[in-house]
Structure 1
Amino acid sequence: MGIITVKTLWDEGAKALSLTVIAGEQYLDRKLPETAMNRPGLALTGFFQYFANQRLQIFGLAEFTYLKSLSDKDKNKRLTELFEQQIPGVVVTRNRKVPPEIIDLAEQYKVPVMRTPMVTMNFVNECTVILEKLTAPQERIQGTTMELMGIGVLLRGDPGIGKSETALSLIERGYSLVSDDVTEVRRTSRGRLVSWASEVTRYHMEIRGLGIIHVPSLFGVAAIRRQTELDLVIDLKKPTGNEDRTGIYPEMVEILGVEIPCITLPVRSGRDMANIVEVAALNQKLKELGHDAAKELDDKIIDRLTRGRVRHG
């Protein structure tokens, strides 16, 4: 998503972070180039050589205790030097009263000042998660996403191939829908992919010939998940006769720079696709635990052939 503004953070996290604007509300459109936050302890002592001026500045108990130890003249000087660095915004934690000097400087240098009742460390942790989410690379993908036994599975395929019908059968078996037809995906800081549904279509499915259904109303809240990590992509396609029959060399698909295992499943009349997708998810889970059935069988065959050559050599 790139660089965001303080207002982007406000719109996304004001409720979760219990934020209120104390001063400079008209300046919320200031850019926020970095997702990390900074506690300006050293800056308040006058040291700016390595000052992170592109980060949100957090004033907690330590900062206010230090400011109280200064004379009014020194306090004004240090705070002025801080605001002169063109900081994007200030957050005061623990619901502490904001000194009038900060409010005056915020108006002078056009810097928004916000306040939260949260403890400083808790605020920093939760705000970092929100900022990383806002700035993470995102993509919208055609496909239906399910969660099976903790494995996130993206079902792709041409319109009418049976993605939603397969997902509906899996829901009836006790698995959970994440999104139908269109899936939002973002890359986390850990190099994983997280998928979820858009706000408009969340919890709904389109079944051809039936129309739109509301999944939790029909199957209960256990039938839906708000988001899941993406572990496997399954392409549903018409048979070609060239499908992989061993799985020794799995295909990979790249999404947002992350490689995900990909399986192509031929769709035939009368074939229980939900059952095959279920087995594919379970097999992927076993692979993540270090148990690869195809590779183990291949190793056994090679070992048997090798021993046979030795006996006849």
Structure 2
Amino acid sequence: MIKVRTKDLIDQFHLELISGAAGIKRTITTSDLSRPGIEMAGYFTYYPAERIQLLGKTEMSFYEQLSDEEKKDRMDKLCTDITPGIILSRGFEVPKELIEASERESVPVMRSTVKTTRLSSRLTNYLEGKLAPTTAIHGVLVDIYGVGVLITGKSGVGKSETALELIKRGHRLVADDCVEIRQEDQDTLVGNAPPLIEHLLEIRGLGIINVMTLFGAGAVRSYKRITLVVNLELWDPTKQYDRLGLDDEKIKIIDTDITKITVPVRPGRNLSVIIEVAAMNFRLKRMGINAAEQFTSKQASVIEDGENEDI
């Protein structure tokens, strides 16, 4: 998981740092934000101090109705040694009680001119993307007709060579050899290449090539949602492979189940075309058109008609 610090929020959203500069390197551990309205009323029993605190029009208007003693008490309790930062929206004036408490506890106090709801949404989206669970998988990620296809298999089975042929056919490379994957939502996996090998493809006997330089900017993309996994394996004559396409195999990556297809590799098989058709067939299935099920249904109907004629 990538570490996010308060300073990153300041840089990303151009926040004005008001006080508590000593704490701008505090780590943010959750994408959840807190709007401490009930805390302003004095109830701190379940105060989520580890979250970014966002003060908007509602919180500040209530704060102005408090006595001087209550104002100091609330701000002292808002600023703790684990609070990563407090942000005021709409360009509100920062209370002197908050400045004093933040300097004492080294809690960064920041200000934005953006409206509270919009700022909350932007902060949450940014933090969820940065703090999402991540993993890395050995494989190749290619965008084929809008379908993010992760090609896996043992080293030397031909993943990169297949990807090169797919690129020549007009599809786009996302990552080769190592695919960094983050789970942005419950069922959403997004893959990208590590910065060191972005746009690069390794072909045994040829070496490393720069796909963007050779084929143009249209042959690459920075990231892509993964919806299909194609596993390449050497042909095993003792193994039974799916010939109808009825088997719905899944593979779990982080906490998400992804459809997996196993394609046997042997001389004479055009893997790039097979994977290209697999991606198109996957799109058809998502649209409700399943050729395998239609064939099975027709077959069952023919058999049933034949049995009725015999009777």
Q: What TM-score, normalized to structure 1?
A: 0.88
After superposition, the C-alpha distances for 1:149-191 in whole angstroms (9 at most, x for unaligned) are 2211001122222211211221222211111111011222232
Q: Where do 1:17-96 residues align within 5 Å? A: 17-28=13-24, 30=26, 32-48=28-44, 51-83=47-79, 87-96=83-92
Aligned position for 2:135: 139
Structure 2 SS opposite 1:294: helix
> Do structure 1's residue 189 and structure 2's residue 189 form an aligned pair?
no
Q: Where do 1:108-123 residues align within 5 Å? A: 108-123=104-119
**Residue identity matched to 1:238:** L
RMSD across aligned positions (CA): 2.4
**Residue identity matched to 1:268:** R
Q: Where do 1:143-222 residues align within 5 Å? A: 143-222=139-218
Aligned position for 2:248: 250
After superposition, the C-alpha distances for 1:225-263 in whole angstroms (9 at most, x for unaligned) are 221111111112221133322211132211113221111
After superposition, the C-alpha distances for 1:61-115 in whole angstroms (9 at most, x for unaligned) are 3333443444544432332343369644211223444333212101223322233
C-alpha change, 1:85 and 1:166, in structure 2 (3 Å) is closer
* Residue range with higher mean Cα deviation, 87-96 or 284-293: 87-96
Displacement of 1:34: 3.5
> Do structure 1's residue 296 and structure 2's residue 281 form an aligned pair?
no
Aligned equivalents of 1:13, 1:310: Cα separation in 2: 72
Aligned equivalents of 2:68, 2:218: Cα separation in 1: 59
After superposition, the C-alpha distances for 1:186-245 in whole angstroms (9 at most, x for unaligned) are 222232211111121112212222222222222222222221111111112221133322
Aligned position for 2:309: 311
Q: What TM-score, normalized to structure 2?
A: 0.89
After superposition, the C-alpha distances for 1:131-160 in whole angstroms (9 at most, x for unaligned) are 222332211000000111221100112222
**Residue identity matched to 2:19:** A
> Do structure 1's residue 266 and structure 2's residue 264 form an aligned pair?
yes
Q: Contact 1:17/1:118 (CA < 8 Å) preserved in 2?
A: no
Aligned equivalents of 2:210, 2:113: Cα separation in 1: 38
**Residue identity matched to 2:263:** L
**Residue identity matched to 2:36:** P
* Residue range with higher mean Cα deviation, 258-267 or 175-184: 258-267
Aligned equivalents of 2:126, 2:249: Cα separation in 1: 33
For structure 2, the residue ranges without an aligned partner over 5 or more in a row are: none
Q: Contact 1:177/1:225 (CA < 8 Å) preserved in 2?
A: yes
Aligned equivalents of 2:84, 2:9: Cα separation in 1: 16
**Residue identity matched to 1:272:** N
- Kindly tell me the number of residue pairs found equivalent between the two proteins: 309
**Residue identity matched to 2:131:** T
After superposition, the C-alpha distances for 1:108-130 in whole angstroms (9 at most, x for unaligned) are 23322233343322221121122
Displacement of 1:14: 3.9
Aligned equivalents of 1:176, 1:11: Cα separation in 2: 35
C-alpha change, 1:122 and 1:220, in structure 2 (3 Å) is farther
**Residue identity matched to 1:64:** M
Aligned equivalents of 1:10, 1:88: Cα separation in 2: 6
Aligned position for 2:121: 125
